A and B are shown apart, each in its own frame.
Chain A
């Protein structure tokens, strides 16, 4: 058949009615002319008509042949069945709405969840050749990671052959002035290779050129797209302007494209220029990334780096000799194991919800299909092929499925759009979840799978119930014939039992997660959190070149802040409480075989009291611990215990030790003699449930840092003190903006977000699942009552009281629930190994939780069964017995 003919045939399907009409016309005309000729040859009118028809041949046969030849039969059938299906849907809007709603929920939730999983776990990073991007760090102990030092980085850069680009970066914060109010921008200082590792086609201008990170190069900056939009009004002439960062003019080299993800909320990039003072090997402050050149493998690059590291060992300080070097593909590093696991569990949960939704829809479809079983049985008996009936079944449900699939896609799209703002801000280098081609393909696949499942059901239900076939033909619509209704009902019951089981698993999972959340929230943070706000302050080196100036600034600021009426206490610290202390230094103490790595935190005298950290012994810091005074430190009791064990100290107070201390801006550390004057209760800075690290606290006055966090505790019930704090800051330095502010509650909550999100997510899913299960139960029980109304009528006529009928139905409901619970408990036990890693403080098979979940499902079963039970009680024996 030629293409032309094929197209014409397909077109003919659409023009069916026109064709039929034309043919009728032609036939009529033909017969007319034949009659006339016949009359002319002498026949009578009647004879002529008969003769004309005879010679014409079979009209209906010819019409059928015509139709077959001109159209495409299967297409016509498909169209007809599809339209018939649509018609059925329109006639029963309640059913249509329910099925569409259920499918929308199930498919939509899956689509949304998949987009999240895809964006975070599956998709490669949005850079060229992302599998070649690696992260390099030094590792003091297996599993621990540390930043790198300047000279180490430079050596790696010089000596590595397998890396085509290697760049170091360090977070940096500047005050942007000259564009309205001074504003604090957070960004990164990066070496020039950075944009070779993370390539970006600049939206305007360019990224860094080689050499712009050499000392003496003219200062340039690359802005992020949102910074350009927000602070520079999307000025198209941006390249002619300069940005005043910390009082210095920077030429603007370019703007990154809108979807460039450079890490946590990076607003700008400036070149990282290593001054002489930064070229040390003992201060670790750089994050290093590399790109493996084409032709080299990861393993080769790792080997080479290890060899380079080994060759540099002799140059490293003694306390670093045991450190290893680690190079890992960035893609593997970005999503931690914990986050990955919780996402996959959430995805599993949402798949369960989809299954329950499908089960519900299947139930609804089966109920509807029961009415057509007669028709299907007759057609099969007359010889219709299974293929034809399957095709019809599928075509009719196509309408329903398209509706549900479309609803699911839209729901998914809406959920994705609505949820993106609430997702973790630090999505980092990955792209945000979006409704893109991959997600659409997944959604289409899910919709297709669901549709085939549902489309086949009405047909399968007759095919497999052999007795049902003859049973359906033998008359009564499944009322008296046990085989027919039994088979159908058995399947529906099984489906509902499965729904109950899956719902139980979801509910118990949600309960576990919520209890974990509760446990974590209740965990002793060890500090006072209420009414404390935090704000970050960064002193620009141009205005505060010397440590003494910084110390003076802090003193002035704290004086003013403490003078604010609503402020109870205030303190300064280089790291926020509850946050990991990123600064590690070496502590040498008598009795210790070698230096130990300790966390290093600089605080002012007000810190411990502001955060309510109790002293275990000795004293905290005072104003007398200034730069000229002897060096003192306070340690946490974890370190005190360690010193007791490892160094055999009986008493820590008054002991001396040597501590590497970073200088003000130089990335160089000095070894200082310090005396331990106090021990505090350990702050919780590792994750919940992890052991406290060893921490050394140093007075800020003795080792000023250009960046600190200000902590202010307000009186209970006071309004926000931030405006007063800003005013105080303006008095000391009008050009200095306050950086990011957060309440301590927010700080604590960000630590817990890893558990809170999955808990709420699975909680919602569990709720949806329970709802769907109850709908399923309701449907089945209603059908049972309907089918058995004759039986109920007989019973009531024989003297059964309504109460007994009601309890009969309820018992039926509870039987299904009981089977479901049994199955569900087995499922929960099977999943306990998966849940184990996500929970804290509660066992995966916690009896209280399981009992609560069972109770909830039992209650739902009763509720779902109550209406059908009442309907059963209202059955009028007289009416039902008369039905025939």
Chain B
């Protein structure tokens, strides 16, 4: 992957809906994370298949905060800086379950179509 490709890639490669889901799921699994840790986790789990600028999480995070699905608390980072730590709220947990259900339904639908046309 060339430098140019990587720096040019933005989170448009991942639709917002999906990014929300990834963030919520990561927070559910890992508990409290700061912005950097969150971005790293998504990178790790998604692997090399996805081009994600780390900075893209921040607009998503502010949106999730505004919807009330995650909350931000101040904490101290590993580099001794004050930084925000995010965690799921109860509403967030509920939203995660809804999104997962939607995702699975959508996937199943597409899978059926694909099976059907393949025959």
Residues of A at the B interface (CB closer than 8 Å) are 2, 4-5, 8-9, 12, 19, 22-23, 25-30, 32-34, 36-37, 54-59, 61-62, 65-66, 69-70
Contact = CB atoms under 8 A, between A and B. Distances in A.
Interface string B36-50: 110110000000000
B83 interface: yes
B78 A56 contact: no
A55 B53 contact: yes
B23 to A, nearest CB: 14
Nearest to B7: A54
Contact of A29 (B7, B54, B81): B81
Task: Label chain B's interface by main secondary structure.
Answer: helix
Interface in B42-90: 53-56, 58-59, 62-63, 65-68, 77-79, 81-84
A36 B55 contact: no
Contacts of A23: 58
Given A54-B6, A62-B56, A65-B59, 19 more contacts: A2-B67, A5-B63, A19-B62, A25-B83, A26-B35, A29-B83, A30-B35, A30-B36, A33-B36, A33-B78, A34-B54, A36-B78, A37-B40, A58-B10, A62-B53, A66-B59, A66-B62, A69-B63, A70-B66
Contacts of A8: 65-66
Contacts of A4: 66-68
A10 to B, nearest CB: 10
Given A25-B83, A62-B56, A69 B36 contact: no
A56 B53 contact: yes
Given A36-B78, A57-B9, A62 B59 contact: yes
A517 to B, nearest CB: 69
B36 to A, nearest CB: 4
29 contacts: A4-B66, A4-B68, A5-B66, A12-B66, A22-B84, A26-B35, A26-B58, A26-B84, A27-B55, A28-B81, A29-B77, A29-B81, A29-B82, A30-B35, A32-B79, A33-B37, A34-B36, A54-B6, A54-B7, A55-B6, A56-B53, A56-B55, A57-B54, A57-B56, A58-B53, A62-B59, A65-B59, A69-B62, A69-B63
A23 B61 CA distance: 11
Contacts of A33: 34, 36-37, 77-79
A539 B84 CA distance: 94
Contacts of B7: 54, 57-58
A111 to B, nearest CB: 43
Contact of A36 (B34, B35, B53, B79): B79
Contacts of B66: 4-5, 8-9, 12, 70
Main secondary structure of the interface of A (DSSP, over half): helix
A23 B55 CA distance: 11
A57 B55 contact: yes
Interface string B15-32: 000000000000000000
A30 B39 contact: yes
A61 B10 contact: yes
B67 to A, nearest CB: 5
Contact of B55 (A2, A12, A29, A59): A59
A759 to B, nearest CB: 64
Contacts of B55: 27, 30, 56-59, 62
Contacts of A32: 77, 79, 81
Contacts of B67: 2, 4-5
B82 to A, nearest CB: 7
Contacts of B35: 26, 29-30
A27 B37 CA distance: 13
Q: 9 closest pairs, A vs B, by CB?
A: A57-B53, A8-B66, A62-B55, A29-B83, A33-B36, A57-B55, A30-B36, A56-B55, A70-B62
Contacts of B65: 8
Contacts of B10: 57-58, 61
A30 B79 CA distance: 10
A136 B54 CA distance: 88
Residue among A2, A9, A26, A70 with the highest chain B CB neighbour number at 10 A: A26
A107 B23 CA distance: 57
Nearest to A57: B53
Contacts of B56: 57, 62
A54 B84 CA distance: 22
A33 B34 CA distance: 10
A69 B60 CA distance: 8
A70 B59 CA distance: 8
A43 B51 CA distance: 22
Contacts of B36: 29-30, 33-34
Instruction: Output the residue of A2, A29, A70 with the most chain B CB within 10 A.
Output: A29
B66 to A, nearest CB: 4
Contacts of B34: 29, 33
B89 to A, nearest CB: 12
Contacts of A19: 62
Nearest to B39: A30
B82 A66 contact: no
A19 B84 CA distance: 13
A659 B42 CA distance: 115
A554 B89 CA distance: 98
Contacts of A59: 55
B92 to A, nearest CB: 13
A41 to B, nearest CB: 12
A12 B9 CA distance: 28
